Amino acid sequence: METSETFIDSLLRQLPFDIGTDEFVQNPYRFYDEARRASGPVHRTPSGDVVVLGYFEARAVLSDPRFGHGARTAQDRTGYGVPARTFLLTDPPGHTRQRERVRRAFTAREMLSLRRRIGDVAAGLVREAARSGTADVVADVARPLSARVVGDLIGVPEDLRDRFAQAAALLVRGMDPPGLIAPDTRERIARARVWLARDIGAALRRPAGAGILRALARGADGRPARAETVATCAQLVAAGYETTVGLIGNGMHALLQHPDQLAWLTAGGHSEQACAAAVEELLRYDPPIQLAPRCALVDADIAGTPVPRGTVVFVLLGAANRDPRAFPEPHRLRLDRQPRHLAFGLGAHYCLGAALSRLEATAALTHLLARRPRPTGHPVSYSPARIARSIQSLHVRLDPAEGHRGSVAAER
């Protein structure tokens, strides 16, 4: 059985382009296009594994129960110091049981409460960031917003939330091939895993628990499920925190790069409803997670390409979301689309935190647009991570006073 490290190392060798270059970090979509033109929507690697670049083929794989995580795309242990696999890396029936425990934490009442809390936090962060007239969307809004929301869900004490956020960012960096990560960064990632498990364990030991821990701390039979809870919460933190940061930063940058779309969105106001709709096209245009690994659990096929049991399938979400067969003018941001994107996956492993990430991005954009964001001319740099995609810093000019809020009524 392969370890996670062995699988991820193989990723670098198997893709039909070099993900180790700075050019790929800045614009992976050019490489996806070239590979799709050369190989079509399904590319078989020299080793026999498969890379999926097409939208329709990606949908088919993600929604097909014949493809899961299996032994080749998930590790036996979580890497967080506990002998349990998080449900995010398992297949049914174990995945179904664990996922249901997490789903129960996201009740309608809980989501309504979170929506109000997220809106209040986003408003306060943007208000504070706008005082000087300029702000860093990532450092001043996206990161603290995501850290507070995840911290509330897990029940992290205020004095540990900065460390929690740092650990989450490092764990996402750890998704990349180890050969692309400097040795000192790998050491920091290892320490972050220990911090995360320790902090979550400490939260579990508090009498009442907090946030999502209330729904996870006991198994279906009523007995404590500490190992699974630590593993699941650690994975939710790593995935939920950095994914939301990437969505907010990438989305705001895309709007600034398309001033016609930004102007249309703000022409008649900048309502929460309009921003929520815009988030869907922003997710398609520059998704915060670029790749979803799967394994053929039985002999299968993808669009006529035979895929024997045990074959690793690399589903490139970023490539699928810019497939011209599914999205005309795929490299143009168009907020009038109603895209059925794959940014959060599909099927049994659809991102459980998708609704929460959408709420955070919608709140952040709503309050940022009320301050008329404009580019400052500062260079924009992306995180060196390859599987996760997020901007490190995005400086904008903001009006110190909030403008009129209404509903978008302009027509294209």
pLDDT, tens digit, for every residue of 303-317? 999 999 988 899 999
Cβ atoms of 235 and 174 closer than 8 Å: no
pLDDT, tens digit, for every residue of 381-399? 898 888 889 999 999 999 9
- Whether 122 shows a pLDDT value over 80: the answer reads yes
pTM: 0.83
Q: Residue 108: enclosing H or E segment and its boundaries?
A: helix 108-129
- Whether 104 shows a pLDDT value over 80: the answer reads no
- Whether 380 shows a pLDDT value over 70: the answer reads yes
CA-atom Rg of the chain in angstroms: 21
Exposure letters 161-193 (e unless 16+ CB within 10 A, then b): beebbebbbbbbbbbbbbebbeeebeebbeebb
pLDDT at 410: 34
pLDDT at 403: 67
**What's the rounded mean pLDDT across residues 51-64?**
96
Average pLDDT of the chain to the nearest whole number: 80
Domain annotation for the chain: domains and CATH numbers: 4-397 (1.10.630.10)
Both tokens of residue 341?
A: 């994107």
pLDDT at 74: 46
**What's the rounded mean pLDDT across residues 325-337?**
95
pLDDT, tens digit, for every residue of 241-288? 888 999 999 999 999 999 999 998 988 666 888 999 999 999 999 999
Q: What confidence category does residue 186 fall into, taking pLDDT thresholds of 50, 70 and 90?
A: confident
Q: What residue has token string 């097909």?
A: 64
Q: What confidence category does residue 214 fall into, taking pLDDT thresholds of 50, 70 and 90?
A: low
Max avg pLDDT among 2-6, 166-170, 274-278, 284-288: 284-288
pLDDT at 388: 85
Cβ atoms of 115 and 384 closer than 8 Å: no
